[in-house]
């Protein structure tokens, strides 16, 4: 993973329930991790499916492996104000990087 390709700033958020002083609970998204990422190009099979079948809401992000936190599919990714649900995770190498497969929320 080359550092020069990590050009997009992303934030990973986790859903949490906060309780205020009056005992009212509300759900909110709290920032878990902010880092740089690379948006991976579409694979050959995605190009061969044809323009009618392509879904531009899907994306793949590559980040360095986060040692301090554990990212799950219950978390979400935010880039440039757009929210993406994480649908798949794949470790690159031996804790060298993490591939996040996402779909727009």
Domain boundaries, the chain: 3-104
How many Å apart are CA 75 and CA 83, to the nearest integer?
A: 11
pTM more than 0.85? no
Give the pairing type, strands 8-19 and 25-39.
antiparallel
The tens digit of pLDDT for each residue in 45-81 reads 555 555 555 556 889 999 999 999 999 999 999 999 9
User: Can you give the pLDDT at residue 3?
Assistant: 84
Taking residues 92-101, what's their average pLDDT?
94
φ, ψ dihedrals at 78, nearest 5°: -125, 125
- When computed from its CA atoms, the radius of gyration of the chain, rounded to whole angstroms, is 16
* Three-class SS state of 46: helix
> 1-15, pLDDT tens digit by residue?
788 889 999 999 999
Assigned CATH topology for domain 3-104: Thrombin, subunit H (2.40.10)
């Amino acid at each position: 993973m080359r550092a020069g390709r990590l050009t997009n700033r992303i934030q990973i958020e986790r859903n949490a329930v906060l309780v205020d002083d009056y005992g009212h609970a509300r759900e909110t998204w709290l920032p878990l991790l902010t880092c740089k990422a690379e948006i991976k190009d579409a694979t050959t099979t995605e190009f061969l499916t044809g323009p009618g079948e392509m879904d531009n809401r899907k994306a793949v992000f590559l980040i360095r492996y986060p040692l301090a936190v554990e990212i799950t599919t219950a978390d979400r990714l935010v880039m440039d104000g757009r929210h993406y649900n994480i649908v798949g995770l794949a470790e690159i190498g031996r804790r060298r990087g993490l591939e996040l497969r996402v779909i727009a929320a």
